[in-house]
Structure 1
Amino acid sequence: MKKQNVTFKRIQTFIGLALVLILLNSCTKELFTSGTTREFRLLSNTNGASYQIQVGLPYNYNPTDTYETIYVLDGKEIFGYVANRCREISDKLGVKNVLVVGISYGKDRSIDYTPTKVSSITGGAPQFLSFIENQLIPKIESEFHASPSRESRMILGHSYGGLFGAYAFCVKNKIFGNYLLLSPSFWFDNQVTFKMEKDHRLGNRNRKQLIFMGIGGNEEGDRMLAPFETFYHTLLNNYPNVKLEKNIERNQAHMGSREPNIIKGLEFYFKNR
């Protein structure tokens, strides 16, 4: 019996170590290995939050040249993944690479990425967008030679980040000309983004837009997939100058669809920008 107990304890220890290794692997963030990363913190004048910013420079970065820019929300988690895929895709297609700007959290992503206040941890998107427009973009353009045109800027966001990208599209369309909206949380505040789109449609509809929308086929039907399709068809039917594509990762849920849709969205962007 004593021998059996020792064996059982060894099995428990082995299982515990295996679970820890699985957890660590699942939390590992991909490092940017295809170029040089510059990092700095920037204090927002609008909400008082301090943001960690990562700027991925192409491996052949030329400070006398100008570059298009991808602004990546949830930068702490996916900056490296996006920057490495940009290098791979631009090399594959034989086109010029971009600056990748990762924006990490200031206070809380649920505050920064949501457009209206329905609780104590929502509703900070107007202030966060003002920070991006009036502080971050000018710094990137002055210090890293980013092109100053609307058409040269893209925003990439997933979940609440996708909601924020759609919010920027609706209310401040002059900032970004390109959007990667991945699993956007259109359900937020009774789908308030749809009202914002309609309210601003007249001023936005004739601008050139490059928009990729991606989601997982196993995401919730009424909460995620139905409003995703509604927004897609709203763009398709009302924006004559939009270049639009959608992708549904059929066997993936909310998080599993993120990386495949990043790849497909970046391929769409580099082929059509």
Structure 2
Amino acid sequence: MKRQKLTTLTLGALVGALVLFLASCSEEEFNPSLTREFSIQSTFNGATYKIKVGLPLDYNSSGIKHSSIYVLDGEENFDFVANHCEEISDRYSVTNVVVVGIGYGNDRELDYTPTKISPTTGGGGDFLRFLENELVPRIEQEFSVDTTRNSRAILGHSYGGLFGACALAVNNQLFGNYILLSPSIWFDNEVSLLLEKEYRERNRDKPQLVFLGIGQSENLGRMQAPFEAFFQTLRDNYSSISLSKNREDDLDHMGSKNPNIIKGLTYYFKNR
């Protein structure tokens, strides 16, 4: 009898936890009526990407050409980013943006890294060409968005943050705003810092908005030192930059992601 009662209580707890989990998932999902979806195959790497587009509540109501945020790791981050863009823009009474979530086509390690140090790395150049020549033009043709560099932002975490840092260096005319969270600047002996230095002269006087976020508990040598070096390079060499960094106390690589997304978006909406 005691075992049966314990089993019943355990089952009840599991059911309760499942209900709470499903409720949280429902709350996290961005409004389906404001979400558009399509797939696009890249001619540069042959991969097919599932794209989600989150529209503002006032989309098309006043002829506004909205700014756009391109979100890497779209399967994981689209709903969270789109919901908080709506919340933060409303809080500060500023125009919301069109959020473009980019799903996985190739392995993220391949698409988001700039150099080939293994069979699964080094596809960042092709992925960047896909964005510039295929995805961004389609978004700007099919949706009511501004087509200027300063209206476009990219948001990425970890390897996605590395990709954004490399895009800032090698193709600075594509995005004017960068939200880079726990960027893997350490990759391939900090090759992204070398790319930044190589292209610095043509980028340093352009207006940039850059938010850098990391967790205080992330690996001190591998993550923190390159992160700080990247921040100081931008601070010391870019004359027209709007730059901010944040360390989330006592949080690690994954734990700091969502808090830094919120702070990065807040910085973006207040300073763009």
Common fold by TM > 0.5: yes
Alignment deviations for residues 92-131 of structure 1 (CA, whole Å, 9 cap, x no partner)? 1111111000000002111111111111111111000100
Deviations 1:23-55 (A, max 9, x none): x67x95821039600000001010000000000
Q: State the match for 2:34 in structure 1.
A: 36
1:208 & 1:97 partners in 2: Cα distance?
A: 21
Instruction: Confirm or deny that 1:234 pairs with 2:230.
Output: no
1:254 aligns with 2:253: yes
Cα distance between partner residues in 2 of 1:205 and 1:181? 18
d(CA) in 1 for partners of 2:35 and 2:10?
40
1:190 corresponds in structure 2 to: 189
How far the C-alpha of 1:17 sits from its partner, in A, is: 4.5
Counting only pairs closer than 5 Å after superposition, residues 68-217 of structure 1 correspond to structure 2 as 68-217=67-216
Q: Which runs of 5+ in 1 are unaligned?
A: none
| Partner of residue 43, structure 2 | 45
For residues 36 and 15 of structure 1, the distance between their equivalents in structure 2, rounded to whole angstroms, comes to 36
What SS does the corresponding residue of 1:55 show, helix, strand or coil?
Answer: strand
Task: Go from structure 1 to structure 2 and tell me whether the alpha carbon gap of 1:140 and 1:11 turns closer, same or farther (over 3 Å shift).
Answer: same
Once residues 194 and 3 of structure 2 are traced to their aligned partners in structure 1, the CA distance between those partners, rounded to angstroms, is 64
| CA–CA separation in structure 1 for the residues paired with 2:25 and 2:93 | 30
* Cα 1:17–1:34 shift into 2, 3 Å: closer
Q: Please report how far the alpha carbon of residue 16 of structure 1 lies from its aligned counterpart in structure 2 after TM superposition.
A: 10
Q: Percent identity?
A: 54
Partner of 1:263: 262
TM-score, scaled to structure 2? 0.92
How high is the TM-score relative to the length of structure 1?
Answer: 0.92
For the residue of structure 2 that corresponds to 1:58, the secondary structure is coil
RMSD across aligned C-alpha pairs, in angstroms? 2.4
Query: Separation in 2 of the partners of 1:34 and 1:104?
Result: 17
User: Which amino acid is the alignment partner of residue 217 of structure 2?
Assistant: N
> Aligned letter for 1:100?
V
Separation in structure 1 between the aligned mates of residue 25 and residue 34 of structure 2, nearest angstrom: 20
- 8 A Cα contact 1:35 1:58, kept in partner: no
Is the Cα–Cα contact under 8 Å of residues 169 and 200 in structure 2 kept in the other structure? yes
Please state how far the C-alpha of 1:89 moved relative to its aligned partner: 0.7
Structure 1 residue 187: Cα displacement: 1.1
Q: For this pair of structures, how many residues does the alignment match?
A: 270
Paired residues of 1:34 and 1:83 also in contact (CA < 8 A): no
Distance in structure 1 (CA, Å) of the matches to 2:33 and 2:18: 29
Task: Give the match for residue 53 of structure 2.
Answer: 55
**Shift of residue 7, structure 1, vs aligned partner:** 7.3
Residues 60 and 144 of structure 2 are in contact (CA less than 8 Å); yes or no, is this contact kept in structure 1? no
- Decide whether aligned partners of structure 1 residues 269 and 134 sit closer, same or farther in structure 2, where only a CA change above 3 A counts: same
What secondary structure does 1:59 align onto? coil
1:14-29 matches, within 5 Å, as: 14=11, 17=14, 21=18, 28=25
Letter in 2 for 1:268: Y
Letter of the 1:191 counterpart:
E
Rounded to whole Å, the distance in 2 between the matches of 1:161 and 1:11 is 45
- Consecutive unaligned residues of structure 2, counting only runs of 5 or more, are none
Cα pair 2:161 2:180 within 8 Å, conserved: yes
- Report the Cα offset of residue 151 of structure 1: 0.2
